[in-house]
Amino acid sequence: MSEVVHTPRVFSGIQPSGGLTLGNYLGALKRFVETQESGGIETVYCIVDMHAITVWQDPEKLTHATRELAAGFIASGIDPARSILFNQSQVPAHAQLAWIFNCVARLGWMQRMTQFKDKAGKNSENVSLGLFAYPALMAADILVYHATHVPVGEDQKQHVELTRDIAAKFNNDFGVEFFPLPEPVIEGAATRVMSLRDGTKKMSKSDPSDMSRINLTDDADTISKKIRKAKTDPEPLPETLEGLEGRPEARNLVNIYAALAELTPEQVIAEHGGQQFGTFKPALADLAVARLAPINAEMGRLMQDPAEIDRILAAGAERANEIAAPILKRSYEIVGMVGTGAA
Ligand code: ATP
Ligand code: MG
């Protein structure tokens, strides 16, 4: 069989499962903007509300979080004219292809997913079926656009690898070379921003402790307070990068500084090595406020006109559907289902 060459296309998503965090910004959003700006590749960015409801969401809060996340994308620099920006539930092809992938993916593959284990904890009999099937929906999100590159944080690497397995098994089961095997793109100094309360746990918007994270909606005082109170050890910053070994909290703050300042961690250590946290933390707080305040202000401005946000998402969904519908139609044909999947 000949190798099918797929046109490069970028897809990534963020859940409206709470407010945006600094982790989402540095690990995902900021890099989505860089990809858009570098040009030459189509960029599809999705507010994945169907993923969010795999754990209970208060309906009013979900609506608010969806609009606020759209505002966060735009305030960070995503231009809805140059990128396709929409919410997942407006494009039914995601759910339709996900069902096919539920029938392609194996139970054993899903059982290995560390995000499921983390999120289900000891309660795995009582979580939703959707939380378990989450990675098959994520595979559909990506593959319904034939996306080739998926910029994500480190925590999503395993899901993108599973997406490759699902694509390969579909192609193999049906004797086609239809779906590309997408690459996770995990780059930069902050691919895994850690909780400010526990340097071994990732910063998450769904963490019960608000002190564990910086939200894009936090004001300057709150950002400074959270950084000042961030857990650290009593030692000063080391003079070399190797000195961060075994010091996850110190490493985390250095990585955050590097990503915000667009420096490497080496450069941050060269500049700040030997400093006490009493000196480094205020410098980091000032930098974080300088970077985040304009985004925060723009989000606030955009949120004053929710109808305009809804219009932007509807227009994005229309464009997304134009790409997804023919790919879904062809998937139905390959599987042998009568009809196109179109409503
Ligand atoms: P939740 O806790 O509800 O899962 P989340 O903060 O993990 O929320 P997601 O919507 O699951 O956010 O992920 C959106 C994007 O942000 C993904 O690309 C993910 O890899 C990235 N991301 C999430 N947390 C971090 C983090 N701490 N550091 C770097 N990137 C992150
Ligand atoms: Mg997550």
**Coil, strand or helix: which one is 103?**
coil
Measured from the Cα of 190, ligand 1's closest atom is 29
What pLDDT sits at residue 340?
87
First to last CA, the chain: 34
Q: Which of 220, 58, 83 is nearest to 147 (CA)?
A: 83
Cβ-Cβ contacts under 8 Å for 160 (sequence gap 6 or more): 142, 150, 152, 182, 183, 184
The mean predicted confidence, pLDDT, of the chain is 96
Nearest CA to ligand 1 atom 5: 204
Query: Could you confirm whether 119 is annotated as catalytic?
Result: yes
State in Å: Cα 160 to ligand 2 middle: 13
State in Å: Cα 51 to ligand 2 middle: 10
Q: Which amino acids bring their CB within 6 angstroms of ligand 1?
A: 12, 14-15, 17, 21, 23-24, 27-28, 152-153, 155-156, 190-193, 202-206
What pLDDT sits at residue 3?
57
| C-alpha neighbours within 13 Å on the C-beta side of residue 277 | 15
CB burial of 232-247 (b: ≥16 within 10 Å; e: otherwise) equals: beeebbbeebebbeeb
Give the span between the Cα atoms of 168 and 199, in whole angstroms: 36
Q: Output helix, strand, coil percentages for the chain, rounded to the nearest 5.
A: 55, 10, 35
Pick the catalytic residue from 30, 202, 226, 281: 202
Pick the catalytic residue from 157, 201, 205, 226: 205
Give the span between the Cα atoms of 49 and 13, in whole angstroms: 10
Encode pLDDT of 35-44 as tens digits. Answer: 999 989 999 9
Query: Could you confirm whether 205 is annotated as catalytic?
Result: yes
Category of 195 on φ-ψ map: left (φ > 0), alpha (ψ -120 to 50) or beta: beta
State in Å: Cα 31 to ligand 2 middle: 17
If you ran DSSP here, which 8-state letter would residue 184 be given?
E
State in Å: Cα 177 to ligand 2 middle: 30
State in Å: Cα 295 to ligand 1 middle: 18
**Coil, strand or helix: which one is 150?**
strand
Alpha carbon distances (Å) from 173 to 42, 61, 101, 166, 286: 29, 41, 12, 10, 55
Distance of CA 194 to the CA centre of its chain: 15
Beta strands in 186-330 (DSSP E): none
Measured from the Cα of 13, ligand 1's closest atom is 14
Give the span between the Cα atoms of 258 and 252, in whole angstroms: 10
Beta strands in 223-275 (DSSP E): none
Encode pLDDT of 243-268 as tens digits. Answer: 999 999 999 999 999 999 999 999 99
What pLDDT sits at residue 5?
83
If you ran DSSP here, which 8-state letter would residue 235 be given?
S
Measured from the Cα of 151, ligand 1's closest atom is 18
Measured from the Cα of 17, ligand 1's closest atom is 3
> To test the ligand 1 pocket, which listed residue (24, 50, 256) has its Cβ within 8 A of the most ligand atoms?
24
Q: Which of 312, 316, 339, 313 is nearest to 328 (CA)?
A: 339
What pLDDT sits at residue 124?
86
Q: Are 264 and 189 in contact (CB under 8 A)?
A: yes
Q: Are 49 and 62 in contact (CB under 8 A)?
A: yes
Beta bridge partners of 43: 10
Beta bridge partners of 149: 10, 183
Measured from the Cα of 206, ligand 1's closest atom is 2
Overall average pLDDT of the 95-119 stretch: 97
Q: What percent of the chain has pLDDT over 90?
A: 95
Would the pLDDT of 219 be above 80?
yes
pTM score above 0.85: yes
Q: Which ligand is nearest to the CA of 191?
A: 1
> To test the ligand 1 pocket, which listed residue (46, 61, 155) has its Cβ within 8 A of the most ligand atoms?
155
Q: Are 65 and 52 in contact (CB under 8 A)?
A: yes
> To test the ligand 1 pocket, which listed residue (11, 14, 212) has its Cβ within 8 A of the most ligand atoms?
14
Measured from the Cα of 21, ligand 1's closest atom is 6
If you ran DSSP here, which 8-state letter would residue 47 be given?
E
Q: Are 214 and 21 in contact (CB under 8 A)?
A: yes
Encode pLDDT of 127-148 as tens digits. Answer: 999 999 999 999 999 999 999 9
Overall average pLDDT of the 172-177 stretch: 98
Would the pLDDT of 29 be above 50?
yes
Beta bridge partners of 10: 43, 149
Residue 220: exposure state from Cβ atoms within 10 A (0-12, 13-18, ≥19): middle
Q: Are 88 and 50 in contact (CB under 8 A)?
A: yes
Query: Could you confirm whether 117 is annotated as catalytic?
Result: no
Would the pLDDT of 1 be above 60?
no
Pick the catalytic residue from 30, 119, 226, 281: 119
State in Å: Cα 24 to ligand 1 middle: 5
